[in-house]
Structure 1
Amino acid sequence: MSKLKIPVQTVQSSILQENALMLGDRSMKRLKIPAHGTLQLAFGSFRQDVTVIPVPKSDGLRISEGLAGRAGFKFRHKLNVSYSTGSRTLRLGPLIGVLVSRHYPDQPDRLFGAITMFCRELTNACHAQGAYVYFITPEALETPSSSIQGWVYEEGWRKRSLPIADVINNRLTTRKVENKPSVQHFLADVKSRYGTHFFNEKFLDKTEVFEALKQDTSLQRYLPESHMLTGSAVLKRMCSHYQSVFLKPVRGSLGKGILRISREEGGGYRLQSTTPMGTRKQSYPSLTKLFQAIAPKMKSTRYQIQQGLPLMELGRRPVDFRALVQKNGTGKWGVTSIVARTAGNNHFVSNLARGGTLSTVREAVNKSSLPSGVKDSVQLGLPRAALAIARGIESYIPAHFGELGIDLALDQSGRIWLLEVNSKPSKNDNTPLNDQKIRPSVKQMVLYCRYLAGL
């Protein structure tokens, strides 16, 4: 199979027959396309038999407005082109779909809310790499069809009827929406009917992650002791082993709803909970009384109980590390970035949503009180741990992931621990957005889509 990236433009149907293409003869030679033959044009799920007309001394591809409209694009683009001699198929793209939770039609400049700039950035990255991207919301999936209503950015956001994409990235932000029958049916249908690749296809539960990774002996050293909180007996046993424990909602995110239980010096136990204003503290004379206080929460929320760790601190604020691990253009896992996150005042979690601040790993480690002999080794150990955990997730959880946010911690001796794994890592969390510059994480996402699509 031969591949190129060439300019693709539309011409008036009065100049070019609707089911004909004009292709530069130099491109035809490089792609090994026979002159004046018929072949199949493919763009996502769109297929059309076309006649190819060679154009002397040209590299580009010209398509009639009618054919381009049915295929779903109207503006001039540079697209990757491949030709398969066996199937006589000329493919353009890849066509990439991004499934987002909702749009805001009354805010055209912020059509997708907080991730609008990411959507623009991804569009720019696709243009640079010869791909074509559109954005869809769950409402578009409710009517089964061979095409779909999606949004593209072309001098402003435009709604358009488009083919089913070669690759779909799931950016849904709630489990409730992700689990809707219309969403699940659509995804199963396009996988089987069109061979669409769908990645980051589901949320991860905290207990699911730890139970899966326990199966790999090489990963057990990163895992704090963790269990489902099934009753007071589990709480009492964990509190007898550790100075503090954390109760984390199995399906929580952004540090919401985390509880910290610790022994008090004079006897009794302290319960700390996260609130938008800071940490709420309550004292109880016994674990029995404390459990009675939290038992009502357990009726609506499942908790994972986890060993408390004496985390590395900066200015008495705990620090953890968010690694973004992504599949690359050859389908292999790589670490795109790692940042240190320091908890805000009066907080025991480091999420930016809770007032945390970012710094580089080197800055955080060098400012810490870690033993000087381990400062260099942990800077190498953090990316190694993140990669090993990503591979473990892929091996032991039956789902397709193309990127993972992996939260790691260092204890005060420099040992590396896993805190949690996020299958929907934020796109406006780790680095400031810049309308002119495309971040490495966004470039990497397009490279992986191209790998999946074979373009």
Structure 2
Amino acid sequence: MTSTKMTIHVQNMGGMLQDHTIVLGDRAVRQSKIPTSGTVTLKFGASKQQVKVVSASHLDGLRIGEPLARRLGVHHGAHVGVSYRASSKTLSLGPLIGVLMSRVYSGTPDRPFGTNTGFCKELVDACHTYGALVYFFTPGDISSGQQSLEGWTYYGRWRKSSFPIPDVVYNRLTTRKLENMPSVQHFMKEVKSRYGNYVFNETYLDKTDVFDALKQDSSLTRYLPESHLFKNYQMLKSMTARHPIVFLKPITGSLGKGIIRISRLAGQSYMCQSTSLNGTVRQSFPSIDALFSSLSGKLKQRRYQIQQGLHLIETGGRPVDFRALVQRGPQCVWGVTSVVARIAGSNHFVSNLARGGTLSRVKEALQKTNLSAAQQRAVNTHLRKAALDIAKGIESHIKGHFGELGVDLAVDSHGKVWLLEVNSKPSKNDGTPLSEGAIRPSVKMTVQYARYLAGF
């Protein structure tokens, strides 16, 4: 079944076009052998209805009436893929992509998704380029048993319309609380089981789950610093005895929040550093017992991962790590879309942008470190290989459907590459300046993968 990109022309009902009739160009009708006698099933997302196909000479596109366009949520000038399956007499339009967002900012109609509005507009533009239609909805738009959704899309301005359940749901929820809502979980289950459609990036990844899963693969252990679910004082004592630096990271944390760095000093004393909005808070302790007593209250409030610390390469005295974006493409194969260096801000030991970190090109960041030219070239290659290996390991060892992963990697002073963590909801708001109408490769890849999933 081949797909052809076509432009939709919406005609008002003052013309001759009937509600359940669509018009295709002669050439498309002949090439796909679409019958013009009787009816065929028109499929768009989960919507299916019987329509009659009429052929017209010199028409380059697909013409439908206003009532049908309104039911489908399509607009004049939209570009969609069109394919015909003779065995089921089904004419499919799409793919219809639904992006599940955390919230809509009703007071800013030109920026309904806040700082993520630019990314959403890029998705709209990429769909127009490749032939697809995308809309954006929130948990508040979901209700039980519905066969359509209220969502937002862009043509001329941001508009809210009714759409069928999509072929592909791209989960961009930014909190576990929203993702774990019963209505959201039920909806994602229904999309897959009832409609046979797809949800990708359907769940958050917990830090310890990732490391425990990847430990099962002997080919990946070389990337893994020693890491455990934190349990008790004895574990803290043994880890700090084995490693001069240890990190405590909230299992469900993000943006560098709540990370604790413990350094063993001379004479069995310890330095404890923790992140705050204003920088790093430092405390000294004469013993591991005193350190644990100070932290015990905090460690009881949430679950932590305890991880071997690394002596990271630095530029200008600031630690550097790397974020690789790994995505599935038009053939469902994992590929590295981008790798960027992240340099920690002043008075911070984490590189997150939310904590004052800055982005840099990998080559430029490496040139400012103490690594030799040969080591820099090797690191550049090893970062991409490690990211790919880890993404494939996630696919093999962790339940869930992922279309993209943010893989955070570190490089130690010897040039060895290590895994820090894997993020199934990599940020789309990195401050990258874009010229008007530009579309990032990562956004194009998302649309191409959705087209693959939906069979276009």
Q: In the alignment, is residue 325 of structure 1 matched against residue 305 of structure 2?
A: no
Shift of 1:231: 0.6
Q: Distance in 2 between matches of 1:345 and 1:250?
A: 25
| Structure-2 residue corresponding to 1:6 | 6
Shift of 1:433: 4.2
Shift of 1:266: 4.4
User: Retained in 2: the 8 A contact 1:2–1:30?
Assistant: no
Q: In the alignment, is residue 437 of structure 1 matched against residue 438 of structure 2?
A: yes
Residue identity in the other structure for 2:7: P
Q: Deviations over 1:368-415 (max 9, x none)?
A: 101333221111111000000000001000100000000001000000
User: Retained in 2: the 8 A contact 1:206–1:304?
Assistant: yes
Q: Distance in 2 between matches of 1:403 and 1:373?
A: 31
Task: Return the TM-score normalized by structure 1.
Answer: 0.98
Residue identity in the other structure for 2:183: S
Residue identity in the other structure for 1:231: N
Structure 1 unaligned residues grouped into runs of 5+: none
Structure 1's consecutive aligned runs of 4 or more residues displaced over 4 angstroms after TM superposition are none
Shift of 1:194: 0.9
Task: Return the TM-score normalized by structure 2.
Answer: 0.98
User: Retained in 1: the 8 A contact 2:325–2:407?
Assistant: yes
| Structure-2 residue corresponding to 1:206 | 207
User: Retained in 2: the 8 A contact 1:43–1:71?
Assistant: yes
| Structure-1 residue corresponding to 2:18 | 17
Q: Distance in 2 between matches of 1:107 and 1:5?
A: 33
Matches within 5 A, 1:103-252: 103-252=104-253
Matches within 5 A, 1:35-114: 35-114=36-115
Question: How much is the aligned-residue C-alpha RMSD, in angstroms?
Answer: 1.1
User: Retained in 2: the 8 A contact 1:140–1:149?
Assistant: yes
Q: Distance in 1 between matches of 2:336 and 2:324?
A: 7
Q: Distance in 2 between matches of 1:69 and 1:60?
A: 18
| Structure-1 residue corresponding to 2:410 | 409
Q: Distance in 1 between matches of 2:144 and 2:156?
A: 28
Residue identity in the other structure for 2:54: I
Shift of 1:125: 0.7
| Structure-1 residue corresponding to 2:392 | 391
Q: Distance in 1 between matches of 2:145 and 2:110?
A: 29
User: Retained in 2: the 8 A contact 1:36–1:54?
Assistant: no
Q: Distance in 1 between matches of 2:289 and 2:434?
A: 48
Shift of 1:301: 1.3
Residue identity in the other structure for 1:444: M
Sequence identity (%): 57
| Structure-1 residue corresponding to 2:293 | 292
User: Retained in 2: the 8 A contact 1:79–1:132?
Assistant: yes
Tell me whether 166-175 or 67-76 shows the greater mean CA deviation. 67-76
Q: Distance in 1 between matches of 2:419 and 2:111?
A: 35
Q: Distance in 2 between matches of 1:418 and 1:52?
A: 55
Shift of 1:143: 4.1
Q: Deviations over 1:329-367 (max 9, x none)?
A: 000100000000110111100011111111111111122
Q: Distance in 1 between matches of 2:324 and 2:256?
A: 16
Residue identity in the other structure for 2:101: V
Q: Deviations over 1:231-266 (max 9, x none)?
A: 110000000011110000010001110000011234
| Structure-1 residue corresponding to 2:308 | 307
